[in-house]
Structure 1
């Protein structure tokens, strides 16, 4: 697929912003940036978002082909290593997106393999999932929509046993989030569930149904599963039905959704839109009859993000910021900000349009 000049210019602006961010944060990891001046709030270890910063550095290295940029991306990825043994299903986000856009150096391949094995070892046969875990605080036995993307492709490439676990993990989340209980809340998926030994799975209030990224994360996970025969062969009819449910929500909703469906006129979440666009580009590669429609929808989302939410030169703010992302709407934390995963998925979508990389591999 090819993009017009607008996509090329937008990608260059986002990646130029990466260089500005790199100078500001040093060896720390950016989380979200103030909308007024682009100043980043950072973390020393990376949290669940660290892989997106590493992924952005890899995308910059692919774009510029500069050795210094490749070395910076490799160094950042190496700093993710302490998360290999952390008790969290977000290792899928950390290690898939932190390595998939790389040049597949021996170091990144080894790190990804270690992370795959560690996640496989964390699989809980009683619940049928790799639990959300305790590393980020709160109850350990949670099933959350953001525990699935990244983990499906991370496990899928680690052998038959791991691919079976990837399918089980995905389908248990789909059954919970999209099943009869989940669908009763005004037609929106329930993105979070807690396991109780006495009563089984119980819905959680946070994140609530209508959380913008819940549906986007699930659609991305389904797209990744459909692209991998070793995962897609498990319950194919259920997977296709889930894809249809999520696509209907994506295609009938706004291009840039509100960060909470309960507040349709409130702040939007550009990061959710960017995730959805990438998922649609992936689905276009696996569903030939609908490929043009999915690609057109993805391009419409990316174009809207660039036209309405990507900062340009001048105006007192750094250029290349994807504004109006949301870190945590329930807590009122950074609800109109640039967020690092929003930048990543916007850059990934634009890079795929411009044929910088194959969308299937990331």
Structure 2
């Protein structure tokens, strides 16, 4: 990427970007610098809406790749050597998840490495992709959810699809296609949609209600995976699914069963990125404008994200993946990145 293009991204004038996009990106990425100073060597997870103070993890959990991805976006914006070093350091720390038995390796390694420009990050992505390919279950036709976070291993969960599709496609396009198709067939087969299924060898797949059918990020995660498939698999086989998954351009409730309860801005940010990837720019811009004008603070914090409504965990907070997808969408609008870079 040229310096001129990066500078255009900073001013928000690239490719007819809305006049609010550049300042919003500057604010959101400015928050990344503040967060990095606060969390030190730990990974941010969610931040208190009143104080802005982060709850952190030592190893990153399933969200670690989003922090690494945010740092790479920040480094691309500033072009600072210290910022690149920080991004590379956190990306390297994701390596301990390569052999973890979890389909969230798609989230960890795709978003943690796709924006990186170092040989080490590229090699880590290849290692992770092969590890995920080795976890592919040919009988199930997908990479199962895994046991790394406890509970039954043979699950198909919607949050095991985004990131996993492009990661698998880099080493085995057929496995990537099968993984996505299997989840689409399961998740969209019920009315209302069901985002998690358990497999038992004797009886096959059975639906589960965790996460619940009205879960905000169910549609968003699956739409993002379909948008990535169109690019990385070079196919429009999944176009029909888009019509079922595209929501209204509004911030959704965390659970559709509780329309007057908590919102989930992180789901809206994920959806905006998916819309940009699909070429639905008008819908993405409308959604991003709603986020920026209503839910982003003056110091760049995207509030009203919901980590887990059922347990009451971080129900109106700033979430690290919400920050990532908001920053990525704004970066795509302003020309700092291509919508298909990550």
Fold in common (TM above 0.5): yes
Q: Give aligned pairs, total.
A: 328
Q: Which runs of 5+ in 2 are unaligned?
A: 1-14
The answer to whether the aligner puts 1:128 opposite 2:141 as a matched pair is yes
> Which string of whole-angstrom CA distances, capped at 9 and with x for unpartnered residues, describes residues 26-64 of structure 1?
111000000110110000000000000000000000101
Paired residues of 2:173 and 2:233 also in contact (CA < 8 A): no
Alpha-carbon distance in 1 for matches of 2:42, 2:186? 36
Q: Aligned match of 2:186 in 170, 173, 176?
A: 176
Please give the residue correspondences for 1:153-168 in structure 2 after superposition, counting only pairs within 5 Å: 153-158=166-171, 162-168=172-178
**Secondary structure, aligned partner of 2:115:** coil
Alpha-carbon distance in 2 for matches of 1:215, 1:209? 10
> Which string of whole-angstrom CA distances, capped at 9 and with x for unpartnered residues, describes residues 8-35 of structure 1?
1111111111111101111110000001
How large is the Cα RMSD of the aligned pairs?
1.0
Q: TM-score, length-normalised on structure 2? A: 0.94
**Secondary structure, aligned partner of 2:16:** coil
Alpha-carbon distance in 1 for matches of 2:161, 2:312? 25
Identify the residue that residue 262 of structure 2 maps to in structure 1.
Answer: 267
Paired residues of 1:151 and 1:166 also in contact (CA < 8 A): yes
Alpha-carbon distance in 1 for matches of 2:324, 2:17? 18
Q: Which runs of 5+ in 1 are unaligned?
A: 285-293, 313-318
**Shift of residue 254 of structure 1?**
5.3
Paired residues of 1:32 and 1:42 also in contact (CA < 8 A): yes
**Secondary structure, aligned partner of 1:194:** strand
Alpha-carbon distance in 1 for matches of 2:160, 2:231? 19
Alpha-carbon distance in 1 for matches of 2:261, 2:115? 34
**Shift of residue 228 of structure 1?**
2.2
Alpha-carbon distance in 2 for matches of 1:330, 1:142? 20
Paired residues of 1:206 and 1:330 also in contact (CA < 8 A): no
Paired residues of 2:169 and 2:233 also in contact (CA < 8 A): no
Q: TM-score, length-normalised on structure 1? A: 0.89
Alpha-carbon distance in 2 for matches of 1:349, 1:246? 19
Alpha-carbon distance in 1 for matches of 2:23, 2:300? 10
**Secondary structure, aligned partner of 1:264:** coil
Alpha-carbon distance in 1 for matches of 2:249, 2:23? 25
Identify the residue that residue 243 of structure 2 maps to in structure 1.
Answer: 244
